[in-house]
Amino acid sequence: MGAGDTLSAAMAALLGAAAELQAAVGEALQFLDQSLDAGFRPGMGGVVPDRFFWALPPGEDEDGEQTVEDALSDDSTDVGGSRSVH
């Protein structure tokens, strides 16, 4: 249940939906890259792909909390606009 299974299942689904072979391979590879980026590394081993990365709202992790990256880039926390140092 790793990268190879994810890639072959995505390609089979796209080919079953009558996609062109080259387009199906490209889209399946893109899906695999995104699922590995969102995946879980349970130790020193390989990454377990998160095949449902697309189901999370942007800026939330699987616990429903805001991610660190989005919290750091969020402009709504800047209450007074630009800060001035006296």
Q: How is the chain split among helix, strand and coil, in percent rounded to 5?
A: 50, 5, 45
Chain mean pLDDT for the chain: 76
Q: What is the pTM of this model?
A: 0.60
Predicted confidence band at 12 (pLDDT cuts at 50, 70, 90)?
A: very high
Cα 41 to Cα 39: distance, rounded to the nearest angstrom: 7
- Name which residue leads in pLDDT, 12 or 77: 12
Residue 74 has pLDDT above 60, yes or no: no
- Name which residue leads in pLDDT, 67 or 54: 54
